[in-house]
């Protein structure tokens, strides 16, 4: 596995379509020297923006990132003393709104959170695959010499033994 583990929120396909269309309209307007074309250009960039985090296991640093089309911006900070890593199953809610209607859909997701100072956390990874989550968790656990808390079953949290993680 890599020394840098990256987590970025996924952008829905419709946001890609709207973002690229708005950027196209904005660029076309700039070529025609229309000053107001900067509005759709900025709108398109905001549609393509996503948030996430990265953790560098070699230098023991992390950063919260803002990314547009793979270009990541964020300041690297030293990683605090981590107590443990939690593999946490939850639902991610996505709300879709139309003119007078609104619906919220829930999708199962697994978060990997690094806990420090008893209750503060840093979300470093997100996946839908349980095996992938535990692979990444064991990699981080070995690199940072911390324990893993399995919180994938609702109401039942358990510590994993080091021999079972390998």
Residue 48 DSSP class: T
- The model carries a pTM of 0.69
In the chain, % of residues over pLDDT 90: 25
How much is the average pLDDT of 106-123? 88
C-alpha distances out from residue 56 to 5, 60, 134, 142, Å: 7, 6, 18, 13
Closest alpha carbon to 144 in 88, 54, 61: 61
List pLDDT tens digits, range 85-111.
999 988 888 888 887 888 888 888 898
∠ CA 26-31-33, rounded to 5°: 90
pLDDT for res 162: 61
pLDDT for res 1: 55
Please give the mean pLDDT across all residues of the chain. Answer: 86
List pLDDT tens digits, range 16-30.
999 999 999 999 998
Return d(Cα 9, Cα 64) in angstroms, integer: 12
Q: Torsion-angle region of residue 149: left (phi > 0), alpha (psi -120 to 50) or beta? A: beta
Return d(Cα 13, Cα 17) in angstroms, integer: 6
Return d(Cα 164, Cα 92) in angstroms, integer: 29
Element at 14 (helix H, strand E): helix 13-31
Site of tokens 């990314």: 67
List pLDDT tens digits, range 34-76.
888 899 999 999 999 988 888 888 888 989 899 988 889 999 9
Sequence-distant (≥ 6) Cβ neighbours of residue 128 within 8 angstroms: 107, 108, 109, 110
pLDDT for res 152: 86
């Amino acid at each position: 596995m890599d020394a840098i583990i990256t987590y970025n929120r996924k952008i829905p396909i419709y946001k890609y379509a709207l973002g690229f269309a708005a950027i196209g309209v904005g660029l076309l307007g700039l070529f025609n020297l229309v000053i107001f074309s900067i509005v759709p250009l900025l709108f398109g960039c905001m549609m393509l923006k996503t948030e996430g985090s990265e953790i560098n296991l070699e230098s023991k640093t992390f950063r919260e990132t803002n990314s547009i089309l793979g270009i990541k911006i964020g300041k690297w900070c030293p990683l605090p003393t981590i107590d443990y890593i939690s593999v946490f199953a939850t639902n991610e809610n996505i709300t879709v709104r139309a003119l007078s209607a609104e619906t919220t859909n829930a999708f199962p997701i697994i978060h990997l959170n690094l806990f420090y100072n008893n209750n503060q956390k840093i979300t470093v990874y997100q996946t839908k695959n349980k095996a992938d989550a535990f692979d990444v968790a064991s990699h981080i656990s070995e690199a940072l010499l911390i324990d893993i808390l399995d919180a994938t079953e609702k109401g039942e949290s358990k510590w994993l033994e080091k021999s079972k993680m390998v």
